[in-house]
Structure 1
């Protein structure tokens, strides 16, 4: 397990790329199970939304990102890279979510959110976007800025999907 976390950490700091990730559907199932458990934990640390709504929104976002990734890889004729790319994306999300847990726990224990914690959380979200950009850059054989464009487009598409299908995510946060 340490080897796997190390690999995903190396992806997050741009020292490994999707082609270094094992091509294994059973490993993907294991990482998805870990991702789901982390989403449940994150849901228990925040109070703005019911747990079911939060997990549903995260699952929907994941489906949009992974389906969009599949479509882009198919468009480029690189369908064989989907599993490694998807595993890289989910693995980096797991590692960065693990890093965010102390911030979420600290924020949950306070009556009012600290702007410093929110700033650190924004840094982690930006880091995740940068790591996803790098993964797309390598997986799709495109330039780094196009990789960033892909990551941002899929981020907006996943947000739009959540807003359209689960509007309580937006209205519940107000």
Structure 2
């Protein structure tokens, strides 16, 4: 069962499946939400190589981030009178973002290598270039995935969906910056 779900959300992440064709399951939404939260917390702890942030701050920051995703998406769906799509839409958003964030783990290792590694300057420059390129690629993928999911859930055009995705990004940045 889990393999089939992972495959289905992988297809969503590749823009080959829509939220409407995914299971309606509040339980699954809860599981995916917790997994997303734990993944974000793990990545934040890993990149905090100077140990600047207190775990409690990261915890509240992560909880606030999850809440901002949920509240923003609910309000957006409510404006379009489509709040009944909340469970499937949020499950797809969190599952898709989990997939993107799993691909970010090698980037975290690259960043830690650059910070702590003693290496020739040309190698450091090549790793930095690869890091920046891959970060941009993953960021674009996550952004376009959010836009795609909003387009499908809200039944709107791509331009409006991109604006909805920009709104999500802005709300998330403001929410996390409050704690950090």
Instruction: Return the TM-score normalized by structure 1.
Output: 0.86
**Structure 2: where are the runs of 5+ without partners?**
117-126
Tell me the equivalent position of 2:74: 70
Please say if 1:102 is aligned against 2:103.
no
| Per-residue Cα deviation, 1:64-116 (whole angstroms, up to 9, x for no partner) | 12211111111111111001001011011111111111111232233267242
Contact 2:107 2:131 in 1 (8 A): yes
Contact 1:43 1:55 in 2 (8 A): no
In 2: Cα distance, 1:14 partner to 1:99 partner: 17
Tell me the equivalent position of 1:172: none
Q: CA RMSD in A?
A: 1.9
Q: Which has the larger radius of gyration?
A: 2
In 1: Cα distance, 2:20 partner to 2:64 partner: 26
Tell me the equivalent position of 1:114: 128
Tell me the equivalent position of 1:44: 45
Alignment partner of 1:91 out of 95, 100, 120:
95
In 2: Cα distance, 1:6 partner to 1:88 partner: 12
In 1: Cα distance, 2:140 partner to 2:58 partner: 20
Tell me the equivalent position of 1:127: 141
In 2: Cα distance, 1:109 partner to 1:55 partner: 26
